Amino acid sequence: FAPWNDPAAKPYISFRNVSKRFGDFTAVDNLSLDVYEREFFSLLGPSGCGKTTLLRMLAGFEEPTEGELYLDGQPLKGVPPHRRPVNMMFQSYALFPHMSVADNIAFGLKQDGMPKEEREERVAQMLRLVKLEEFARRKPHQLSGGQRQRVALARSVAKRPKLLILDEPLGALDKKLREETQFELMDLQQELGLTFMIVTHDQEEAMTMSDRIAVMDRGVIVQVGTPAEIYEAPNSRYVADFIGSVNLVEGRVVSSGDGHVVIDGPDGRFVGAVRSCAPADGETAWFAIRPEKMHVSRGKPEGTVNAFEGEVWDIAYLGDMTIINVKLDSGKVVQASMINRSRLVEDPIGYEERVWLSFDEDAGIVLDR
Ligand code: ATP
């Protein structure tokens, strides 16, 4: 499933040079984006970068100040929210407190004049889908946060919108429930064949669920790609930093070519692989190295220039992995993470030990200054 790589594929949602201003403030700045049918698409970015504004324009609660929006090839300008084949599920869930779970789910269907029998059938189907059959007669205040979230979801999909917009749908759930619900959401989307456009500021959540992610910063999209593309080939320091943990090393480019770049800086000379950025000789560049790509050894590693020596400063045992921070003589701290494969490590690395961290050329992602 990768319609974005198919030049013949028609986008389902298109933002064309869309800007949104509130007075002097530009919340969305000349943004263009295509999303495809049945895609699970996430908007990811820090608070205030314009994610919700983008969704609200798509749902019809805001009109763009400039630019055009298309859904299935049709311009959306002037089409009111209830005439769009779109449903939006809000952060707050917005359930009716005095109505039962079943009535909450049936509400939109009733408004549309769906006959009683068909409506009841649809509500039963939705309750099955979100595994709440036994809760049909309860009121929202008699449910847990996770159950309320599922009711909101059932209500959003009951009318079978072609597009479901979700603003931080799992924000109110605790970590464990959140992780379970992520997979339920993915299953639901697959089962119903819907297009999902979701806002989150949780990068792990976006990585888990999405076909593609757009990373936003102050009203613009900085990078769009699959989770693997965003993680393995970030196009800027901002994206590298925003998704996952990263070590950054700075230096001047002393040679380049053949998909590789050599930099020389205060922490030494390093060789890295060109992904999205290819700085020229003489320029300053960053290398981004993910902690899990660092090898940790007691002796100096052989056959690589990509090595740092320092003292173990912090160790965090997380069960599945151990994170160590190593302080170099320059004062810089470099992080490595190791998967804990065996239950008890025989000779674990300890505090204040001198160790070497090294990385393969392929693991050093070159970024433009
Ligand atoms: P969060 O993750 O905190 O929800 P967001 O990325 O969804 O943030 P938006 O809600 O889209 O951000 O807001 C983008 C910017 O536009 C913010 O600085 C916000 O204060 C501003 N903004 C949003 N709506 C309005 C409005 N109606 N009037 C004035 N400013 C607004």
Read off the pLDDT of residues 259-268 as tens digits, 9 standing for 90 and up: 889 999 988 8
**Model's pTM, two decimal places?**
0.88
Average pLDDT over residues 116-143: 92
Does the C-beta of 213 come closer than 6 Å to ligand 1? no
Q: What are the start-end ranges of the E strands in the chain?
A: 13-22, 25-35, 40-44, 66-71, 74-75, 86-89, 163-167, 195-200, 212-217, 220-225, 247-257, 260-265, 268-273, 284-289, 295-297, 307-317, 321-328, 333-339, 354-358, 365-368
Q: Could you tell me where in the chain the CATH 2.40.50.140 domains are found? A: 248-368
Does the C-beta of 51 come closer than 6 Å to ligand 1? yes
Q: Could you tell which of 19, 28, 52 is best to mutate to test the pocket of ligand 1, judged by most ligand atoms within 8 Å of the CB?
A: 52
- Please give the mean pLDDT across all residues of the chain: 91
Ligand 1 atom closest to the CA of 54, numbered from 1 = 11
Which superfamily does 3-237 belong to? P-loop containing nucleotide triphosphate hydrolases (3.40.50.300)
> What is the CA(198)–ligand 1 centre distance, in A?
16
> What is the CA(48)–ligand 1 centre distance, in A?
5
- For ligand 1, atom 12, name the residue with the nearest CA: 48
Q: Is the pLDDT of residue 74 over 70?
A: yes
Q: What is the C-alpha to C-alpha distance for residues 17 and 236, in angstroms, rounded to an integer?
A: 22
- Rounded alpha-carbon distances, angstroms, from residue 169 to 194, 196, 201: 16, 11, 11
Read off the pLDDT of residues 194-252 as tens digits, 9 standing for 90 and up: 999 999 888 989 999 999 999 999 999 999 999 999 999 999 999 998 998 999 999 99
Q: Could you tell which of 18, 20, 42, 49 is best to mutate to test the pocket of ligand 1, judged by most ligand atoms within 8 Å of the CB?
A: 49
Q: Is the pLDDT of residue 344 over 70?
A: no
Paired tokens of 354: 């001198």
Q: What is the C-alpha to C-alpha distance for residues 306 and 366, in angstroms, rounded to an integer?
A: 13
Q: What is the C-alpha to C-alpha distance for residues 336 and 296, in angstroms, rounded to an integer?
A: 7
Q: What is the ipTM of this complex?
A: 0.94
Q: Could you tell me where in the chain the CATH 3.40.50.300 domains are found? A: 3-237
**CATH class of the domain at 248-368:** mainly beta
Amino acid occupying residue 126:
M
**pLDDT for res 91:** 66
Q: What is the C-alpha to C-alpha distance for residues 349 and 32, in angstroms, rounded to an integer?
A: 49
Q: Is the pLDDT of residue 92 over 80?
A: no
Non-local (6+) Cβ contacts of 70 within 8 A are 11, 13, 14, 16, 76
Exposed / middle / buried, residue 301 (Cβ in 10 Å: 0-12, 13-18, 19+): middle
Give the position of tokens 């050599």. Answer: 262
